[in-house]
């Protein structure tokens, strides 16, 4: 099973003619809301891809909470370890331009109150894949990684957004997923390069560095490989990285090898880019399977 410890947000999505520059106001036609948060997006992506997913995180007791949880519930994610706190539910403002690019600002709120003890030891073992990002408290994330490793679980970390995680916890990760910015940031903080090869050499685990429209590179003990994107007409890239990581975790969890899991995740992420929105645009297993076979 997959245990996802992460963030839950309600996304306020603003389609705009152009992304605002600092100090600029840009008018768009209409805003819509959608469940989001990197943790929740990854959990939904994994569940829609057929994974059995349990989510540990936190929301508030406000009107945003139920909306933010709706698609997790719909995808069959176990929400019994989601805490209801007195702090407001996480909320993100997402500006999207006509080319599918975005700017995201997040008010973390209740996400920072999620604690690793919401995941009991019995859930962590050799048949568990623990899936994490960096939108919740980093000390809690580091402790959960240590506990998961000590109990033999597989740990998949998407270091998004880029953030300083305790060194021993970072090195205990089995599969690290970063984008170009996160890779560069991590490389700088380690005093090394930011590409997959350099990060793998410095840290030891399998490293996947996604490169947007240029595909991705993966570095393991067997060397470095690059993979092109699965071509689609891009509408909105929001949550594409979450989709990739969630589907990767689900595929690894059900026994696919890393190369096959990456191929599947690449196709799923492309399908996500072909639809507007964040969590709502995450593909179900059948659609990914069909695109993969085409
Ligand atoms: O990766 C996209 C996500 O980042 C959005 O859903 C938003 O909530 C932020 O967490």
34 in ligand 1 pocket by Cβ < 6 Å?
A: no
The pLDDT assigned to 278 comes to: 84
In what helix (H) or strand (E) does residue 257 lie, and over which residues does it extend?
none
Q: What is the DSSP letter of 83?
A: E
Note whether 279 and 39 are within 8 A (CB).
no
The pLDDT assigned to 277 comes to: 83
For atom 9 of ligand 1, the residue with the nearest CA is 37
Q: Which of 8, 10, 11, 107 to mutate to test the pocket of ligand 1 (most atoms within 8 A of CB)?
A: 11
172 in ligand 1 pocket by Cβ < 6 Å?
A: no
> What is the C-alpha separation between 72 and 79, in angstroms, rounded?
8
Q: What is the DSSP letter of 49?
A: T
The pLDDT assigned to 125 comes to: 97
**Which residues are identified as catalytic?**
242
44 in ligand 1 pocket by Cβ < 6 Å?
A: no
The pLDDT assigned to 128 comes to: 98
Q: What is the DSSP letter of 94?
A: E
Rounded distance from Cα 74 to ligand 1 centre (Å): 19
The pLDDT assigned to 8 comes to: 98
For atom 2 of ligand 1, the residue with the nearest CA is 239
Delimit the domains of the chain by residue range: 2-19+29-284
The pLDDT assigned to 48 comes to: 98
Q: What is the DSSP string of 189-245?
A: HHTS-SSHHHHHHHH-SEEEEE-GGG-EEEEETTEEEEEPPPP---S--TTHHHHHH
281 in ligand 1 pocket by Cβ < 6 Å?
A: no
CA angle 203, 43, 274 (to 5 degrees): 95
> How does pLDDT run along the chain (294 residues), one tens digit per residue?
999 999 999 999 999 999 999 999 999 999 999 999 999 999 999 999 999 999 999 999 999 999 999 999 999 999 999 999 999 999 999 999 998 889 999 999 999 999 999 999 999 999 999 999 999 999 999 999 999 999 999 999 999 999 999 999 999 999 999 999 999 999 999 999 999 999 999 999 999 999 999 999 999 999 999 999 999 999 989 999 999 999 999 999 999 999 999 999 999 999 999 998 889 999 999 999 999 998
Tell me the CB-side half-sphere exposure of residue 161, using CA atoms within 13 A.
7
Q: Which pair of structure tokens corresponds to residue 183?
A: 């890779």
Q: Which pair of structure tokens corresponds to residue 216?
A: 């991705």
CATH superfamily of domain region 2-19+29-284: Ribokinase (3.40.1190.20)
The pLDDT assigned to 276 comes to: 86
> What is the C-alpha separation between 287 and 159, in angstroms, rounded?
27
């Amino acid at each position: 099973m997959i245990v996802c410890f992460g963030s839950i947000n309600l996304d306020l999505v603003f389609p705009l003619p152009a992304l605002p520059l600092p100090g600029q106001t840009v008018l768009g036609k209409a805003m819509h809301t959608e469940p989001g948060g990197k943790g929740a997006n990854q959990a939904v992506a994994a569940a829609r891809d057929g994974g059995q997913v349990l989510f540990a995180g936190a929301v508030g007791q406000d009107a945003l909470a139920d909306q933010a949880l709706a698609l997790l519930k719909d995808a069959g994610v176990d929400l019994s370890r989601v805490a209801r706190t007195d702090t407001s539910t996480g909320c993100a403002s997402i500006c999207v331009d006509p080319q599918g690019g975005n700017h995201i600002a997040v008010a973390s709120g209740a996400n920072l109150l999620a604690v690793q003890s919401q995941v009991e030891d019995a859930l962590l073992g050799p048949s568990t894949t623990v899936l994490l990002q960096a939108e919740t408290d980093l000390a809690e994330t580091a402790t959960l990684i240590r506990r998961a490793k000590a109990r033999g679980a597989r740990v998949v970390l998407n270091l998004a957004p880029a953030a300083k995680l305790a060194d021993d916890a970072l090195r205990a990760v089995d599969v690290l997923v970063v984008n170009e910015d996160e890779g560069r940031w991590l490389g700088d903080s380690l005093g090394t390069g930011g590409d997959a090869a350099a990060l793998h050499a410095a840290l030891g685990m399998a490293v996947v560095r996604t490169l947007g429209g240029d595909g991705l590179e993966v570095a393991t003990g067997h060397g470095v490989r690059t993979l092109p994107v699965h071509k689609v007409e891009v509408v909105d890239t929001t949550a594409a990285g979450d989709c990739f990581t969630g589907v990767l975790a689900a595929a690894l969890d059900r026994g696919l090898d890393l190369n096959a899991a990456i191929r599947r995740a690449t196709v799923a992420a492309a399908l996500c880019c072909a639809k507007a929105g964040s969590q709502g645009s995450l593909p179900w297993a059948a659609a990914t399977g069909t695109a993969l076979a085409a």
